[in-house]
Amino acid sequence: MPDSLLIIPRWVVPVEPEGAVLEHTAVAVRDGRIQAVLPTAQAATRYPGYREIHLAQHALIPGLINAHTHAAMSLMRGLADDMPLMRWLQEHIWPAEVKHVSPQFVKDGTLLACAEMLRGGTTCFNDMYFFPEAALEAALEAGMRAALGAIVIEFPSAYAADPDDYLRKGLALRDQFGDHGLLSFCIAPHAPYTVSDESFRKVSRLAAELDVPVHLHVHETEDEVTRSIAEHGVRPLERLRRLGLLGPGLIAVHAVHVLPDEIAMLGGHGCSVVHCPSSNLKLASGFAPVAALLAAGVNVALGTDGAASNNRLDMFQEMRQAALLAKAVARDAAAVPAHAALRAATLGGAVALGLDSKIGSITAGKLADLVAVRLDGPELAPCYDPISHLVYVAGREHVSHVWIAGQAQVVDGILKSPSWSSLDSRVEVWQNTLSLQVVEH
């Protein structure tokens, strides 16, 4: 059990209420939870014996939630860049996956992703990939919170033979680990163009039965929409609506090519959208209408997507990108202000995952997933508004401390778990293996 702590930062940015910045405020942590957010002057008296952590130049924020990634793809970071989507997938990513993806690949790749995400202030990630049991193992070794997707796709892989096999394997994991404090589960049908109506119907039924979110890529590219019209007579979101998938449990990733009535439909059904701005730019998918989605009441979260199409698992980058890009897309410099981007990266992710009663803000009673960000030095001075600085100025390199359920995972920028010692050499082996394929190709 971790220590009881009194964290005393320069600023507490609790995210709820949105835009709040608290000074002279301490956060008491006990048994992995936030026990109180209270005036520093009263803290030591009310919580004697708690270990005090003074962070005089820091903002304390809720842990960042990466609401869409394929963590294991970190091993393919920069394997193939600057090429059209289908060539990238068909000539590089898919062949590499067919040849190399195994439980060990997923374990090592996810561990690498966890190391990167933890050092960058991400405390929770929503994963979609083959062999989720290996990602689960990595997350637990790293001490990270994870939502694991029971992936569903029509194509066989080294992991599973058919949609039923995928579902069975993914959900068995949930049966086994459903009670683990760091874990939650989604059903993750890959995308409208890789999943049949029959499979979607099963997903819809099971998600309702088990009360788990449904995590899928949707309306990412124009081509996806065109193909859906050709094959199903309707655009993907309308197809999903008919199949019963629209609702508060839907985590719609990307939502780049959405029309005004589709935006209204997502809002009306209480869906969440995971905006992945770097990935949408890098693959030339387009510009998601984030300001319009927010205005329609859609819960917006942020994700990095996999490292092969980003090439960083860096939620600070996605916050900045989301806030900047939305302004030019909406032609309004006031669109998606800094606090809205921070909310999307924290509470927005928690709502999407159905975890907002547990994480996403610095609120007494929630789990102590906390991140300290150091806001001094020539890159960050002067500081008129810490929330503006968190989004527009700070980078992941300014993260000094990370706690997950009250357990320190990063202290002064250093990863604490012993799991990391042999990671470098294992990643090097994978790099050599995958490089060989690049040469062969």
334 binds a second copy (CB under 8 A): yes
- Give the shortest CB-82-to-a second copy separation in angstroms: 4
427 binds a second copy (CB under 8 A): yes
Q: Which of 127, 224, 314, 356 binds a second copy (CB under 8 A)?
A: 314
* Length of the chain measured in residues: 441
310 binds a second copy (CB under 8 A): yes
| 3-state class (DSSP) for residue 87 | helix
Q: Which of 49, 230, 331, 412 binds a second copy (CB under 8 A)?
A: 331
Q: Residue 432 and residue 199: Cα distance in Å, rounded? A: 38
- Give the shortest CB-391-to-a second copy separation in angstroms: 9
Closest CA to 351 of 148, 65, 35: 65
Instruction: Point out which span in 2-10, 147-155, 258-266, 307-315 binds a second copy (CB under 8 A).
Output: 307-315
Q: Residue 284 and residue 221: Cα distance in Å, rounded? A: 9
287 binds a second copy (CB under 8 A): yes
Instruction: Point out which span in 241-249, 318-326, 364-372, 403-411 binds a second copy (CB under 8 A).
Output: 318-326
Q: Which ranges of 70-131 would DSSP assign to H, the alpha helix? A: 85-87, 94-100, 103-119
Instruction: Point out which span in 148-156, 205-213, 292-300, 423-431 binds a second copy (CB under 8 A).
Output: 423-431
Q: Which of 52, 197, 223, 428 binds a second copy (CB under 8 A)?
A: 428
Residue 218's alpha-carbon distances to 44, 223, 246, 323, in angstroms, are 50, 11, 12, 22
Q: Which is nearer to a second copy, 296 or 307 (CB)?
A: 307
Question: What is the DSSP annotation of 3-66?
Answer: PPEEEEEEEE--SSSTT--EESEEEEEETTEEEEEEEHHHHHHHSTTPEEEEEEEEEEEEPEEE
Q: Residue 432 and residue 426: Cα distance in Å, rounded? A: 10
Q: Which of 56, 333, 421, 440 binds a second copy (CB under 8 A)?
A: 333
| 3-state class (DSSP) for residue 399 | strand
Q: Which is nearer to a second copy, 76 or 359 (CB)?
A: 76
| 3-state class (DSSP) for residue 397 | helix
Q: Which is nearer to a second copy, 211 or 331 (CB)?
A: 331
- The first and second tokens of residue 330, run together, are 């909406």
- The first and second tokens of residue 21, run together, are 């910045």
Strand partners, 44: none
Q: Residue 225 and residue 43: Cα distance in Å, rounded? A: 55
Instruction: Point out which span in 189-197, 245-253, 262-270, 376-384 binds a second copy (CB under 8 A).
Output: 376-384
Instruction: Point out which span in 130-138, 260-268, 387-395, 400-408 binds a second copy (CB under 8 A).
Output: 387-395
423 binds a second copy (CB under 8 A): yes
311 binds a second copy (CB under 8 A): yes
| Cβ neighbours, 10 Å, residue 100 | 17
Q: Which is nearer to a second copy, 99 or 327 (CB)?
A: 327
**Per-residue DSSP letter, 247:** S
Q: Residue 256 and residue 244: Cα distance in Å, rounded? A: 21
Q: Residue 2 and residue 20: Cα distance in Å, rounded? A: 28
278 binds a second copy (CB under 8 A): yes
Strand partners, 11: 23, 59
Q: Which of 312, 408, 411, 419 binds a second copy (CB under 8 A)?
A: 312
Q: Which is nearer to a second copy, 152 or 330 (CB)?
A: 330
Q: Which ranges of 243-375 would DSSP assign to H, the alpha helix? A: 260-268, 277-282, 290-295, 315-330, 338-343, 349-352
Site for a second copy in 72-131 (CB under 8 A): 75, 77-79, 81-85, 88, 112, 115-116, 119-120
Q: Which of 223, 379, 422, 441 binds a second copy (CB under 8 A)?
A: 379
Q: Which is nearer to a second copy, 204 or 280 (CB)?
A: 280
17 binds a second copy (CB under 8 A): no
Q: What is the largest CA-CA distance in the chain?
A: 68
395 binds a second copy (CB under 8 A): yes
- The terminus-to-terminus CA distance of the chain in angstroms comes to 50
Please say whether the beta carbons of 395 and 425 come within 8 A. no
Q: Which is nearer to a second copy, 280 or 400 (CB)?
A: 280
Instruction: Point out which span in 70-78, 122-130, 187-195, 402-410 binds a second copy (CB under 8 A).
Output: 70-78
Q: Which residues bind a second copy (CB under 8 A)?
A: 75, 77-79, 81-85, 88, 112, 115-116, 119-120, 278, 280-287, 310-312, 314, 323-325, 327-328, 330-335, 337-338, 376, 378-379, 381-385, 388-389, 392-393, 395-397, 420, 423-424, 427-428, 430-431, 434-435, 438
